[in-house]
Amino acid sequence: MAVGFHITAAILMLAFAIVYASDPSPLQDFCVAIGDADANVFVNGKICKDPKVVKPEDFFFQGLNKPGSLSNPLGSNVTQVNVNQIPGLNTLGISLARIDFAPYGLNPPHTHPRATEILVVLEGTLLVGFVTSNPAMNMKNRLFTKVLNPGDVFVFPQGLIHFQFNNGKTNAVAIASLSSQNPGVITIANAVFGSDPPISPAVLTKAFQVDNNVIKYLQSQFWWDNNYP
């Protein structure tokens, strides 16, 4: 009897873990976000606007047909469309982005801590991939990579490091959908070498097993951000 109870409890715990693995489900038709500057308290997400004053514009965004600037050294531009651009996405657990690439442009290795990403290529050719989390002892992180052409779709699991690289001689365009109203992004190089205040060179020298001067050089660089609201 006790064994059956523990099994039932374990199944229920797993079910609750799955339910809460992404953004919370809405408890009403919609919960249009109030701008942070207008909020008097902090919540996990954003405070709801009074439904009586909600407008069609709260569910609207325009301009995703326009390419982003590719003048930065990475040669890529991510145009985000999340709850900060469309307040009506609050609590709905979804957002998207347009990603533009110059020839040989790169959306550098990064993670989305709160979302799985599914990407479709509209124009050009992209080399994409993600790396698994830390494996068992004496094993290496595994790379899953693929060359994508227009119409091809690829999935990047939540929280895993991934990238997209335009390995063609023409511009490329992709659209990504993400399973969070606010997926977040951590660009690996920027976070490790461009944090403020900087991570101690002693820590990074030990972690990367390189000379201290290499770390100081990397920390002295300007680390570009290609994500734009």
Positions at the binding site for oxalate: 107, 112, 117
SS3 186: strand
- CA proximity to 28, closest of 108, 123, 92: 92
Residue type for position 189:
A
- SS3 string, 201-213, reads HHHHHHHHCCCHH
Which pair of tokens denotes residue 66?
A: 């326009």
- Residue ranges of the annotated binding site for Mn(2+) are 110, 112, 117, 162
Cβ pair 132, 141 in contact under 8 A: yes
Cβ pair 127, 145 in contact under 8 A: yes
- Residue ranges of the annotated binding site are 107, 110, 112, 117, 162
Cβ pair 221, 190 in contact under 8 A: no
Q: How far is CA 17 from each of CA 20, 44, 214, rounded to the nearest angstrom?
A: 5, 17, 42
d(CA 118, CA 4): 39
d(CA 68, CA 77): 6
Which pair of tokens denotes residue 184?
A: 């977040």
